[in-house]
Amino acid sequence: MKVLKPGQAVGITVAISFLLVLWEVPVSTWATSATLSLAAGVAALALMATSAILASRWAWVERLLGGLDRVYLAHKWMGVWALGLASYHLVFKAGLDAWDVAPILEVSKYWTRLLRQLSFVALMFIILLALNRKIPYHLWRSWHKLSGPLFVVVILHWLTFESPIALSEPAGLWLGILSVLGVAAAAWKLLLYPRLARHGEYEVVEVSPGAGAVRLRLAPVGSGVAFQPGQFGFLRLKEEGLREPHPFTIASASQENGAVEFFIRGLGDFTRKLVSESRVGMRADIYAPHGHFTRPERAGHEVWVAGGVGISPFISWLQDPEAESLERVTLFYCYTPGREFPDVEALQAQADARGVELVPVPAGPNSVAFRERLAEIAREVPADSVEIRFCGPQGLKEAVRQQMEALDIPRHNLAYEYFDFR
């Protein structure tokens, strides 16, 4: 299935909005700041509505963009572009005497002006909240739930604003359909998602602490969730301070008893609390499956590159009883000495059991061990048949790309999931 890239999703939404506005106004006014302001306002609202739809975690949305990680990236950039376009719309008047204008919803001028100002403040609050990484996670989650109600304020501004766009016209229908879908998505996420989304109840049956990290093993209470190796789920422990769902890759393949494992490192306030307070007997909900991180269908040689807890999807692939051609796999495990989790010995035993070559890389991807072994692989098979799967921090990924370029391994042979959601 052909998927949309995040940039394409943003570009298509903006392009449709601008074209439909040009359809509505006289050609003689196209080159005016008023037309650009009107188009910018329409595009900003369309981006906000589409962003709300993306935040729903609906399965069809994830398939359209090729994974929830891409959905989150598109969601972020739609917000950024919406704020920029709304800023232009606020500064320049979106009206001309040559236009036949009327509001869709008639209210007093006081409320019209107030809704105009509130809509911009609401949008600015949503975007700044989404991009501020210094807010503690529990506060960020709580405040972010205001996005839906604030989006309604922006819709009311559109409905009460005097413009040449009638609700029955193409641009009006475009905004109307997107607004209805956006409000429905926001209501689903805020009110119905916790109960109706795909999830299973689990109990923590094993807690194995590491260096600033923990391995959790959870067994289903009743029926669990079905997933494919390499996918992730949102873990929500039913304990005070740990109730917010947080995404983690499932570090195990499907098992008969339905148990799942997570490797979690304390990298932020929430994950540090989770690492320190997890106990056997705790109950949890797992919302899953998500993600489209898969092995290549064909490859002269597969290279798996893991950074830290980015090892999780590769452990699930190692455990997959249906996995084939693992003898053509080399796993590079990049870690900081003293902070490796799982430890190299345990990972080596799993790799040996499946015939996978494990190359520990404690010094990073610029180490001799990584560069020389990857170069050998590129010589042993055609370089363009080397397929690389990566999971880890952004800096590590860029270093891998540099090595690929030096060895003439095509860029499109690298597949990865974005490591950082927030």
Whether the CB-CB separation of 237 and 284 falls below 8 Å is answered with yes
Average pLDDT, the chain: 91
Q: Is residue 422 part of a domain?
A: no
Rounded distance, CA 89 to CA 114, Å?
A: 15
Q: 143 and 18, same structural domain?
A: yes
pLDDT at 131 over 70: no
DSSP per residue over 305-371, as a string? Answer: EEEGGGGHHHHHHHH-TT---GGGEEEEEE--TT--SS-HHHHHHHHHHHT-EEEEETT-TTSHHHH
At residue 225, what are phi and psi to the nearest 5 degrees? -110, 145
Q: Which residue has the higher pLDDT, 417 or 18?
A: 18
The span from the first CA to the last CA of the chain, in angstroms, equals 27
pLDDT at 133 over 70: no
Rounded distance, CA 311 to CA 419, Å?
A: 12
Helices 109-131, 33-54: crossing angle, 10 deg rounding: 50
Which one of 150, 178, 195 terminates a domain?
A: 195
Q: 377 and 261, same structural domain?
A: no
Which one of 147, 178, 195 terminates a domain?
A: 195
Q: 169 and 38, same structural domain?
A: yes
Q: Is residue 204 part of a domain?
A: yes
Rounded distance, CA 372 to CA 366, Å?
A: 10
Task: Give the position of tokens 């190796």.
Answer: 229
Q: 241 and 190, same structural domain?
A: no
CA 114 to chain centre: 34
Which one of 290, 318, 349 terminates a domain?
A: 290
Q: 357 and 272, same structural domain?
A: no
Q: Is residue 350 part of a domain?
A: yes
Check residue 3 and give its pLDDT: 87
Q: Taking the CA of residue 203 as centre, how many other CA atoms within 13 Å lie in the half-sphere pointing to its CB?
A: 7
pLDDT in tens, 333-377: 999 888 888 899 999 999 999 999 999 999 777 788 899 999 999
Q: 386 and 259, same structural domain?
A: no
Using DSSP bridges, classify how beta strands 357-361 and 329-334 pair: parallel, antiparallel or unpaired.
parallel
* Distances in whole angstroms, Cα of residue 21 to Cα of each of 14, 30, 35, 157, 338: 11, 9, 8, 17, 59
Q: 156 and 56, same structural domain?
A: yes
CATH number reported for the structural domain that contains residue 308 in this entry: 3.40.50.80
At residue 68, what are phi and psi to the nearest 5 degrees? -65, -25
pLDDT in tens, 239-261: 988 888 899 999 998 887 899 99
Q: What is the pTM of this model?
A: 0.88
pLDDT at 142 over 90: no
Q: 129 and 68, same structural domain?
A: yes
Q: Is residue 167 part of a domain?
A: yes
CATH number reported for the structural domain that contains residue 41 in this entry: 1.20.120
pLDDT band, very low/low/confident/very high, at 184 (cuts 50, 70, 90): very high
Q: 337 and 250, same structural domain?
A: no
Q: 156 and 74, same structural domain?
A: yes
Q: 160 and 20, same structural domain?
A: yes
Q: Is residue 296 part of a domain?
A: no
Residue 110: domain span = 6-195
pLDDT at 403 over 90: yes
Q: Is residue 156 part of a domain?
A: yes
pLDDT at 269 over 90: no
Check residue 44 and give its pLDDT: 94
Q: How many domains does the chain have?
A: 3
CATH number reported for the structural domain that contains residue 280 in this entry: 2.40.30.10
Rounded distance, CA 297 to CA 376, Å?
A: 22
Across the range 16-27, mean pLDDT stands at 97
pLDDT at 285 over 90: yes
Q: Is residue 1 part of a domain?
A: no
Check residue 138 and give its pLDDT: 66
Rounded distance, CA 24 to CA 170, Å?
A: 8
Q: Which residue has the higher pLDDT, 386 or 340?
A: 386
Whether the CB-CB separation of 348 and 357 falls below 8 Å is answered with no
Q: Is residue 421 part of a domain?
A: no
Q: 232 and 217, same structural domain?
A: yes
